[in-house]
Amino acid sequence: MANLLRSARLLVSDLASTFLFLVVLLATKDLILAVALGVGLGVLQIGWLLVRRQRIDAMQWLSIGLVAVSGIATMLTSDARFVMLKPSVIYCIVGAYMLRPGWMNRYLPPAAVQTVPDIGYIYGFVWAGLMFGSAALNIVLALTLDPVTWSAAMSVWGLASKVALFLIQYVTMTMIGRRRAATAMAST
């Protein structure tokens, strides 16, 4: 359970500024406020890691960079499509990043890296597929829905799809890992 919570914490941290943006937009319907708070949280997260001299992962730099660029473009133009299409850019970049073998090791406990590295490798590609599919869905919704409806739809999809895949992966890797560990113990 501790490994599950650690992995979930890292994932939520990486996506916190996007979550804040969506929640504020849904709650207040104020696009500028949502953008400003999302950008502010992202900057604070990076600042906190820099002050603590902690390593900043490429995904974290990517997230804050895109939040800042699309947020500033939205504020300057008052056109919500910059922010609405930003997740598609993020999904595509993240999907491409997820095609890199071993990216998932940061999120896996050492036991999983030792016992089921092949399954982690496969799920890396499954996650990439989810990102590319989410990018396509977001483009369709951003071009056909108003900002508030889009925000609600993408919030539900984004959270539900990632939590579902996370849980499926966790259960699958745990079951296979336990079976492999039992087989290894039985053969010694």
In this prediction, residue 137 carries a pLDDT of 97
Q: Is the pLDDT of residue 3 over 70?
A: no
How many other C-beta atoms can be found within 10 angstroms of the C-beta atom of residue 2? 7
187: tokens are 């053969």
pLDDT band of residue 10 (cuts 50, 70, 90) is: low
Q: Comparing 11 with 39, which gets the higher pLDDT?
A: 39
Question: Is 104 within 8 Å of 124 (Cβ atoms)?
Answer: yes
In this prediction, residue 169 carries a pLDDT of 93
**Burial per residue of 159-188, b for 16 or more beta-carbon CB atoms within 10 angstroms, e otherwise:** eeebeeebeebbeebbeebeeeeeeeeeee
Q: Is the pLDDT of residue 61 over 80?
A: no
Separation of alpha carbons 95 and 128, rounded Å: 4
Region 161-168: what's the mean pLDDT?
A: 93
Q: Is the pLDDT of residue 89 over 90?
A: no
Q: What percent of the chain has pLDDT over 70?
A: 92
Instruction: Give, in order, the Cα–Cα distances in Å from 33 to each of 26, 64, 72, 142.
Output: 11, 17, 12, 19
How many other C-beta atoms can be found within 10 angstroms of the C-beta atom of residue 100? 11
Nearest partner of 83 among 143, 35, 39, 44, judged by Cα: 35
The tally of domains found in the chain comes to: 1
Region 130-139: what's the mean pLDDT?
A: 97
Q: Is the pLDDT of residue 101 over 90?
A: no
134: tokens are 């989410």
Region 19-46: what's the mean pLDDT?
A: 83
In this prediction, residue 55 carries a pLDDT of 83
Look up the pTM and report it: 0.68
Lowest mean pLDDT segment, chosen from 57-61, 74-78, 156-160: 57-61
| Range of the structural domain that residue 69 is part of | 2-186
Instruction: Give, in order, the Cα–Cα distances in Å from 41 to each of 20, 44, 149, 167.
Output: 8, 5, 23, 27
Count of residues in the chain:
188
pLDDT band of residue 20 (cuts 50, 70, 90) is: confident
In this prediction, residue 152 carries a pLDDT of 85
Mean pLDDT over each residue of the chain, to the nearest integer: 84
Separation of alpha carbons 120 and 140, rounded Å: 30
86: tokens are 């930003």
